Structure 1
Amino acid sequence: MNTLHFVRFTVAYWCLLAAALLPYVCAGIAKSGLLGKPRNQGGYDNDHPRQWMARQTDWRARANAAQANSFEGLPFFMAAVIIAHQLGAAQTLLDILAFLYVLTRVLYITMYVGGLSSARSAAWAVGMLLNLVILFIGYH
């Protein structure tokens, strides 16, 4: 009898998935409330999405900027988690740090959309520090 074996995801691996989805959450925030509204009334323009986004201001523009930054930060986080796993980092510590990174990114996005620039920059710095710690926790 064949049995299916499923890969067991660690909390850190689930955090990779969560971090990978955050840019799309930002895009949804930027477009929220406008998807069904006619274009001539300011609704989302799916024929010209980049031009439409370029015309947005305030929290919608900041949500789009948070999306771009979330994509920019994603490769470093993914690499750090994978390298930490490969180096045999203590799993519980790695899981906690990865969770804290995702939590920090959620706070970053919230602060970005809310226009809290100093707090946003602090959250970004904490996220960068967490990435560096994750990268090196498996080093022996």
Structure 2
Amino acid sequence: MTLAFWCVLVAILLPFAFTGFAKFQGGFGLRENHNPRDFLDTLSGARKRAHWAQQNSFEILPGFAAAVIIAQLAQTAPQGTIDGIALAFVLSRVLYGVCYIADWASARSLVWFFGMGCIIALFVGTAG
């Protein structure tokens, strides 16, 4: 299995790290698991932003997964290039979450655009 495929798995799991921060920071998550969506809507500050980072991570995931799969199937770009772009995307998503939780709005937007650039690069790199 390629590094790019492993990056898809990491991208699938990453939103749950943000959810964990949102739910369990302060120790309230376990007893609020009966209505987790209602509970997450009541959060504020860094915990609320972690929840939003989780939502955005799920929203961008299909595009990234499709880009990796298409790049792999097309085989018009070297595997090392596909792997490098996929890894850059995953790292950008980790940094995106950190920026979101820390409330660094401008940095978060820049990192988001970089991640989208990675997705576009996977498509463009396979347009051979």
TM interval, shorter chain, is over 0.9
Segments of 4+ in structure 1 off by > 3 A? none
Sequence identity (%): 40
What does residue 132 of structure 1 align with? 120
What does residue 111 of structure 1 align with? 99
Unmatched runs of 5 consecutive residues or more in structure 1: 1-8
What does residue 66 of structure 1 align with? 53
Larger Rg: 1
2:78 counterpart of 1:83: no
TM-score of the superposition, structure 1-length normalised? 0.86
Q: Provide the C-alpha distance between the structure 2 equivalents of 1:100 and 1:33, rounded to a whole number of angstroms.
A: 28
Cα deviation code 1:37-80 (max 9, x no counterpart): 5x8xxx75111211111110000100000000000000000000
Q: Provide the C-alpha distance between the structure 2 equivalents of 1:82 and 1:48, rounded to a whole number of angstroms.
A: 35
| Matched AA of 1:70 | S
Q: How does 1:38-57 map to 2 (within 5 A)?
A: 44-57=31-44
RMSD: 1.5
TM-score of the superposition, structure 2-length normalised? 0.94
1:34 shift after superposition: 4.2
| Matched AA of 2:65 | M
The count of corresponding residues between Structure 1 and Structure 2 is: 127
Q: Assess if the C-alpha contact under 8 Å between 1:34 and 1:44 holds in 2.
A: no
Cα deviation code 1:10-35 (max 9, x no counterpart): 00000000000011111001012444
The alignment partner of 2:69 has SS state of: helix
Larger helix percent: 2
Q: Provide the C-alpha distance between the structure 1 equivalents of 2:35 and 2:66, rounded to a whole number of angstroms.
A: 33
The alignment partner of 2:103 has SS state of: coil
